[in-house]
Amino acid sequence: MNRVDEIRQYLADTQPKSNDGYATQDIAKLRSCCKRMISEYDHTIKKMERLEDHIILLNTILDDNIEMEAMEEQLKSKLTKYRETEQPEPLSFEELKGKADEPVWIADLEIPSCSEWRIVREYWSDGVGGEVDFEGGCESLLRDDYNKTWLAYAQKPRGHGNEL
């Protein structure tokens, strides 16, 4: 028997024994170890519950953020629509040429009360200038006068008369 085995045997022989053969100190250590494991388990459960609370909070924040992003998109869309319908930009002459058979608001810059909706029939050019013709026998408007005496809009600007 080596020295380590002798010490183990001595310790086993000197420890008091309970009725079932286990040393009383071993039982006490086992109880202490079990209590520590239960405490660590309870502590781990509490950490997991706190983590679950954090996950719920994070999901709530993310859901709120998604809702906020959706609301922001709706507001941007409504603002864009408002700007387009309430204060639209005049069409470029190139855009106006592409509006054949579509209604456009013609703003008369010399006599604003003569502004009205017209349906574009066609644009023609003689190589030097050009004209836009409208349905219904309305007069043609000269390209050279665009931005001087008249403008065209896809939507009627706010503040103009002659409601459609």
- Report pLDDT for 79: 77
CA gap 142, 138 in Å, rounded: 13
Per-residue pLDDT at 57 exceeds 90: no
| pLDDT exceeds cutoff 50 at 164 | no
Q: What is the reported pLDDT for 91?
A: 92
Burial class, 76, CB count within 10 angstroms (exposed 0-12 / middle 13-18 / buried 19+): exposed
pLDDT, tens digit, 9 for 90 and up, residues 88-145: 789 998 898 888 889 999 999 998 888 889 999 888 777 777 888 888 656 788 888 9
Per DSSP (E only), the strands in 25-160 are: 103-108, 116-125, 130-134, 141-142, 150-153
Q: What is the pTM of this model?
A: 0.46
Check pLDDT > 90 for residue 151. yes
Sign of CA dihedral 98, 99, 100, 105: negative
Which candidate, 129, 130, 132, places its Cα nearest to that of 152?
132
Cα 95 to Cα 61: distance, rounded to the nearest angstrom:
45
Q: Which residues contact 136 (CB under 8 A, 6 or more apart)?
A: 118, 119
d(CA 72, CA 69): 5
12 close to 25: Cβ distance less than 8 angstroms: no
